[in-house]
Amino acid sequence: MRHYHGFIADSDRWHNFRMRDDDVVITTPSKSGTTWMQTIVGMLLRQTTDLPPISTISPWIDMQIRTEEELFRVLDAQTARRFVKTHTPFDGLPYNPNVTYIAVIRHPLDVALSDRDHGLNMKRDETVALREAVAGKFEKPAEWEDPPDETAPFLRWFIDNTRPPTGSGPNGLDDYCQQIRTYWEARDKPNVHLFHYADMWHDLDGEMRRVAAALGIVILLAGARAAWITFALVLLWSGWRLLGWKKLLGVFAFGAVMLALFALASPQVRERVERTTHMLTASEEGVDSALSGRARIWGAAACMARHHPVNGVGARGFREAFDACDPERGEVAAWGEGPALHAHQLVLEVLSETGGFGLLLWLAGAALAWRAWRYASEAARARARPAMVALAVTVFPFNTHLAFYSTFWGGLTLLLAALYAGSLLGRDEA
């Protein structure tokens, strides 16, 4: 491994980082869409658009503004599939054939201008103080010239500059081309995937599908166990009508065999299955491990409901109120740094954010939905049944993944409710 070292980054940190076989390493020249790719990967792996600040769950390994002990403690505590970022070229990274490497490149002149703007906006004194507190004073080589601020002179400086790479650049066009070359030489490895910023800009949907394919089938099977439960519920509800009990049991048996095969073949699926079995220990620690740290979140939600029993802490106020009710304040959470964003359970979400008043309104809505179903004709029920099943599994209490007071899931639930009501109460034209 080649050593890259400069003011802000030191690739030696990779020697002490304990990789897991399912880790994802996002490696780019700076200002090439790094945070964009981190967000895409985070949404796919966590199966949510509601992510905490990306640097709290996907840190820059080489960045010398926090100690290795602090950095690795946060990463070691993560139970979900991890994804980290780096600006170190590929030849400065440890290679693990089971780790997924995602490289993103961008037009070098776009990179140069974006890096210039970043440098002009950076809080230099604060950055220097953080760096010196962790790694000591940095002595800049005398031959390193500071780049000009004006656009045209800066671009000329970028093109002509031959400053050696430091792992946080590019410091110039030569540095940029050397870094891209390390990705290009590794492009034939099955776990190395190259993306271009322009492709992401022009065809985001297609590029996100490519990212999903790079991350593997595990994002379908291990992304959210709540999805397994809801899929099984839909299959149970509709399957007995279409197949009968004997054939339906055969389908479930086939599913169990396939899950066992995937668990044998995929470390990520195996880890999810093994973690789920911790529930069988019946101990508090085992249950919390099976729930990926949700017991801590549920404890905070119950605290909010106790202290705000009427109106709760406000819709989407969970993250602001979390610290005051966190039962393990100061301890590194299973999901990484930062507060939990929602209660991860429908009843607790309603009680903690909108209190008893909100719960009464939800129950009133459920009663109205049931009353409409009860007095509807068979033809209307047949029309409304798909929407009813989708709505039922969406609000199923064991579905611990959704945040109903978020824009996306709240909007989806309202659309399903509208489809259910329209299908059930609509009248055929005479």
Burial of residue 239 (CB within 10 Å: 0-12, 13-18, 19+) is middle
Amino acid making up residue 260: A
CA 152 to chain centre: 39
Note whether 157 and 147 are within 8 A (CB).
yes
Residue 86 φ/ψ region, left for φ over 0, alpha for ψ in the -120 to 50 degree band, beta for the rest: beta
CA proximity to 108, closest of 55, 25, 179, 15: 179
> How many Cβ atoms sit within 10 Å of the Cβ of residue 285?
10
Task: Name 279's Cβ contacts closer than 8 Å, sequence gap at least 6.
Answer: 286, 287, 290, 291
Token couple for 47? 């199966």
Task: Name 43's Cβ contacts closer than 8 Å, sequence gap at least 6.
Answer: 49, 51
Burial of residue 255 (CB within 10 Å: 0-12, 13-18, 19+) is middle
Note whether 65 and 134 are within 8 A (CB).
yes
Beta bridge partners of 333: 336
Note whether 30 and 170 are within 8 A (CB).
yes
Note whether 45 and 80 are within 8 A (CB).
yes
Token couple for 372? 């409409």
Amino acid making up residue 14: W
CA 415 to chain centre: 25
> How many Cβ atoms sit within 10 Å of the Cβ of residue 391?
20
Q: Is 202 annotated as catalytic?
A: no
Among residues 3, 15, 87, 107, which one is catalytic? 87
CA proximity to 20, closest of 102, 100, 106: 100
Show which residues are catalytic.
87
